[in-house]
């Protein structure tokens, strides 16, 4: 994949007080990319787009370079204690993006130049919870890989946690540009996870992300670099031929992943589901979507926050679960399945 290059970049004036901010400013000016200033990274105006779909596309080509204010980190239960805000959004256009509802109609990308201050805040949380281990999630607001070549924030974070006895880090990506992270001193304290799906699903719905083959190849490199490794298989769809397609995904992993790196690998399985609000968003941004969003073929399940979601029926869920369990047992007998939903 080509590295992400935005069409336009906004800078908060304060970002230029940091060496990373100045370096990025010079970098984009030299590339002849449109550079503008913005008073706040939270309220950026001037991104073009007449329709929701156009606005979305343009926002995904807009980068904002800002300073993250010293505030508290959001909690991230149940998988981690806190979110670690390294960046916001990503250049991908997955039709079922898990951030779509929170980022709204103009999900422009944001990177923060005050990484050291963000890590200082993480340190304070770790100290506060000592002697307990504190876990941070690095992809609650973004996919942190596409902007990594610009900021180096992820590598610094991985090395920060490499030095922490009581801090652990995890993140997930749909991208494959992992080279700069392979020699990071991670000390086994970062779980590097890849979001995977059947190749047909990735090709059809995960626009502008790495292909399945690229992600599997990147995962093998990460495994060889000694990182704890994990896979989120999501969202899982049932359609004619789904078993063959997901079987091919496991075969690709089997062909690439060194045997000695499979112990301790984690799997998370999430079947496809949608809320009424998410469906409306998808149809706004991708009016010609072929995503299966027919409520009549699903079961309605009340969620814990008062809104419900449409999930596969119990019978279909059981079929997916049995299938995935068999794959894990066959190819990754020493892996841990964290959950299936």
Q: Which of 159, 165, 157 is nearest to 132 (CA)?
A: 165
The distance of closest approach from Cβ of residue 92 to ligand SF4 in the complex, given in angstroms and rounded to an integer, is 3
Tokens 């787009």 label which residue?
49
The distance of closest approach from Cβ of residue 186 to ligand SF4 in the complex, given in angstroms and rounded to an integer, is 22
The distance of closest approach from Cβ of residue 103 to ligand SF4 in the complex, given in angstroms and rounded to an integer, is 8
The distance of closest approach from Cβ of residue 68 to ligand SF4 in the complex, given in angstroms and rounded to an integer, is 18
Whole-angstrom distance, CA of residue 267 vs CA of residue 338: 6
The distance of closest approach from Cβ of residue 91 to ligand SF4 in the complex, given in angstroms and rounded to an integer, is 7
Residues that bind ligand SF4 (CB under 6 A): 90, 92-94, 97-99, 143, 174, 206, 209
| Closest CB to ligand SF4 among residues 222, 261 | 222
| Closest CB to ligand SF4 among residues 126, 219 | 219
For 89, the token pair is 């959004």
| Closest CB to ligand SF4 among residues 134, 147 | 147
Cα–Cα separations (whole angstroms), residue 138 to 49, 87, 158, 170, 177: 30, 9, 10, 6, 16
The distance of closest approach from Cβ of residue 98 to ligand SF4 in the complex, given in angstroms and rounded to an integer, is 5
The distance of closest approach from Cβ of residue 325 to ligand SF4 in the complex, given in angstroms and rounded to an integer, is 25
Whole-angstrom distance, CA of residue 98 vs CA of residue 281: 12
**What is the separation of C-alpha 51 from the centre of its chain, rounded to a whole number of angstroms?**
26
- How many Cβ atoms sit within 10 Å of the Cβ of residue 163? 10
| Closest CB to ligand SF4 among residues 93, 252 | 93
Alpha helices in the chain (DSSP H): 19-30, 52-59, 100-103, 115-129, 148-151, 153-162, 199-205, 212-224, 242-256, 276-285, 314-331
The single-letter DSSP state of residue 195 is E
Yes or no: say if 256 and 216 are a contact pair by the CB < 8 Å rule: yes
Tokens 């073009």 label which residue?
48
Whole-angstrom distance, CA of residue 149 vs CA of residue 162: 20
| Closest CB to ligand SF4 among residues 126, 236 | 236
| Closest CB to ligand SF4 among residues 99, 126 | 99
| Closest CB to ligand SF4 among residues 109, 119 | 109
For 226, the token pair is 């000694």
The distance of closest approach from Cβ of residue 143 to ligand SF4 in the complex, given in angstroms and rounded to an integer, is 4
| Closest CB to ligand SF4 among residues 98, 340 | 98
- Dihedral of CA 114/120/124/126: which sign? positive
- How many Cβ atoms sit within 10 Å of the Cβ of residue 174? 25
């Amino acid at each position: 994949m080509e590295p992400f290059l935005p069409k336009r970049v906004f800078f908060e004036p304060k970002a230029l007080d940091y060496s990373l901010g100045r370096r990025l400013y010079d970098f984009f000016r030299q590339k002849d990319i449109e550079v503008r200033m913005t008073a706040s990274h939270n309220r950026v105006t001037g991104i073009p787009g007449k329709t929701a779909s156009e606005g979305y596309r343009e926002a995904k080509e807009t980068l904002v370079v800002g300073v993250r204010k010293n505030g508290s980190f959001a909690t991230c239960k149940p998988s981690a204690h806190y979110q670690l805000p390294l960046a916001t959004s990503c250049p991908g256009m997955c039709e079922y993006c898990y951030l779509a509802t929170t980022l709204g109609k103009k999900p422009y990308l944001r990177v923060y130049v005050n990484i050291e201050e963000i890590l200082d805040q993480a340190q304070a949380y770790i100290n506060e919870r000592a002697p307990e281990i504190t876990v941070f999630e690095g992809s609650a607001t973004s996919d942190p890989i596409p902007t990594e070549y610009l900021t180096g924030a992820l590598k610094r974070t991985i090395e920060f946690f490499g030095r922490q006895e009581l801090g652990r880090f995890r993140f997930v990506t749909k991208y494959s540009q992992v080279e700069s992270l392979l020699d990071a001193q991670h000390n086994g304290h970062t779980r590097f996870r890849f979001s995977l799906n059947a190749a047909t699903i990735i090709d059809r719905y995960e626009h502008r992300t790495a292909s399945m083959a690229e992600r599997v190849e990147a995962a093998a490199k990460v495994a060889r670099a000694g990182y704890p490794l994990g896979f989120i298989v999501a969202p899982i769809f049932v359609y004619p031929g789904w078993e063959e397609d997901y079987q091919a995904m496991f075969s690709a992993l089997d062909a690439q992943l060194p045997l000695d790196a499979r112990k301790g690998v984690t799997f998370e399985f999430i079947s496809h589901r949608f809320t009424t609000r998410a469906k409306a968003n998808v149809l706004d941004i991708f009016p010609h979507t072929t995503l299966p969003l027919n409520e009549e073929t699903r079961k309605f399940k009340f969620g814990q926050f008062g809104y419900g979601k449409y999930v596969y029926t119990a019978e279909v869920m059981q079929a997916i679960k049995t299938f995935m369990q068999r794959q894990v047992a066959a190819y990754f007998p020493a892996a841990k399945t964290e959950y299936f939903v």
